[in-house]
Structure 1
């Protein structure tokens, strides 16, 4: 048992997780050449706060990728979560009290639709999630009449997104820590987590071993939808309102953060610590490129190049778990 733990730790230390954290250190050192504030506790805490929104969304993306699937409905599920939560605040005190769970529930419903299409209708996840993304977009256009949403976020949404808790730690970071702790527990200590890894390695073998693979796939997509919607709730609280395109910047970064952290795009292999490293890496990269005042086309070129390079190095390994 002890030797197995040693081997597991050795795999964590010697793989892409170490490389991702190494890149984080390199980015901080590079940024410190432009401003000493890059290494200040205030700057680091602010970056972790910004990373929290992406981290919550990437947690759901990781769950789906571990299955060997992909979720391309993230942009509008994020928007649905934020827009429905803010819409609920216009229904009076009760609506404001239930705004956060209502936004999350809408995301879970869309995730269940994704999961049903993949698990029972056997539609490729890329196709069904794109379709659900389009459906969500259409529903939100109907809801708003094509105009920018006028509803404001509730005090509770603003508190968890912008407030500070113990020792001045941002509440958003505490929320991400809680979500991450829950994800680690589920993936490493529950039968559901073991089934997720087993399905990602070989779904047929998992089915023949007695796993209820279709229900696990549906549940995983539902959780991913709920977390994407929760990310939208946090973003709406951070900005005090929702916007129709609020989820657009999070599709590629969420998937890239998961894969950059060592989770196989083929499914069946990955550790949540790697996703944490990937989220922080992408957040720092975006921040530093902005501070360096590189032109927009240059930012996209460097940002995309770094992601592609690391995906080529670590993103195509076969499942080994």
Structure 2
């Protein structure tokens, strides 16, 4: 019993159900084509899923607090644009391309955190406004045209290269997940995040600097989104307008499907990884099967709703 109890600290019932859905999707897809269970296809999904998974880890840091970050789309775009822009300034710019993009994500995330923690503006409203501001800045920077800057060699290698057959993007995702899991489970900061998500006032009265924790979590989310933008730009070899738009709902859905409570205080990194994989495989399979877009949206929505209902029931049962 002890191994199963230990496992329960890292993967809960919604996550296990999500794993079952992933296996079911692959089995159903194998009847359509044997490629769905081939190592090549699975590694490709791990590579593509890394972009969504990196964003979702940042989303988890905010959701655990009971907040939401709606600035993801254009922070992702900003990360890709700023990295490619810096990378085309010469040798020095090439070396600073990725750090500069992460710095931009850190700044935007910190602004989000200050707005929520200090100004006490609802996160949904403030981050949506920040998203509009970043969008305006990027359109102003590009003049409304597609950027012509190319991704650096390092960006392309991180997004598209492989080490011993494993995509580098997947390795980056794994390392980030390990770091996030370490912070959330083995540090006082992680305990503070869960405490604030369960009851912020009680955490504050216990001596936790709730403002600082909020700012850190939003800053981390901004850096994750910017890193995903860097990876996406490397994968496509250049940045482009609105490159982050398709990732907002899937990132939030991946976190919720993985068992996180949207009201805060509950969630795991492993569950978020599993939820992101489920979303990635679902969308990929529907696309490969040439399912009409309307049917894709229906199937996508039904699975999200079902998994959220299961997650909600699990949380009520354990309450």
Same fold (TM over 0.5): yes
CA deviation string 1:63-104 (max 9, x = no partner): 000000000000000000000000101211101110001011
State the SS of the aligned residue for 1:88: helix
CA distance in 2, matches of 1:13, 1:62: 15
CA deviation string 1:267-310 (max 9, x = no partner): 10111111111011000100111111111111111111211221
User: What is the CA distance between 1:11 and its match in structure 2?
Assistant: 6.3
RMSD: 1.7
- Is 1:192 the counterpart of 2:197? The answer is no
Residue of structure 1 equivalent to 2:79? 81
- Is 1:237 the counterpart of 2:234? The answer is yes
State the SS of the aligned residue for 1:242: coil
Residue of structure 1 equivalent to 2:281? 284
Residue 10 and residue 146 in structure 1: after superposition, are their counterparts in 2 closer, same or farther (change >3 A)?
Answer: closer
Residue of structure 2 equivalent to 1:143? 141
1:65-214 superposed matches below 5 A: 65-165=63-163, 167-214=164-211
Q: What TM-score comes out, normalization by structure 2 length?
A: 0.96
User: What is the CA distance between 1:14 and its match in structure 2?
Assistant: 5.6
User: What is the CA distance between 1:203 and its match in structure 2?
Assistant: 0.3
User: What is the CA distance between 1:312 and its match in structure 2?
Assistant: 2.1
5+ residue gaps in structure 1?
none
How many pairs does the alignment contain?
318
CA distance in 2, matches of 1:182, 1:210: 25
State the SS of the aligned residue for 1:98: helix
User: What is the CA distance between 1:313 and its match in structure 2?
Assistant: 2.1
5+ residue gaps in structure 2?
none
Residue of structure 1 equivalent to 2:309? 312
User: What is the CA distance between 1:9 and its match in structure 2?
Assistant: 2.7
User: What is the CA distance between 1:8 and its match in structure 2?
Assistant: 4.7
Residue 109 and residue 10 in structure 1: after superposition, are their counterparts in 2 closer, same or farther (change >3 A)?
Answer: closer
Kept in 2: contact 1:12–1:18 (CA 8 A): no
Kept in 2: contact 1:266–1:318 (CA 8 A): no
Kept in 1: contact 2:11–2:268 (CA 8 A): no
Residue 319 and residue 87 in structure 1: after superposition, are their counterparts in 2 closer, same or farther (change >3 A)?
Answer: farther
Kept in 2: contact 1:263–1:271 (CA 8 A): yes
Kept in 2: contact 1:259–1:315 (CA 8 A): no
User: What is the CA distance between 1:319 and its match in structure 2?
Assistant: 11
Residue of structure 2 equivalent to 1:43? 41
Kept in 2: contact 1:269–1:320 (CA 8 A): no
Residue of structure 2 equivalent to 1:28? 26
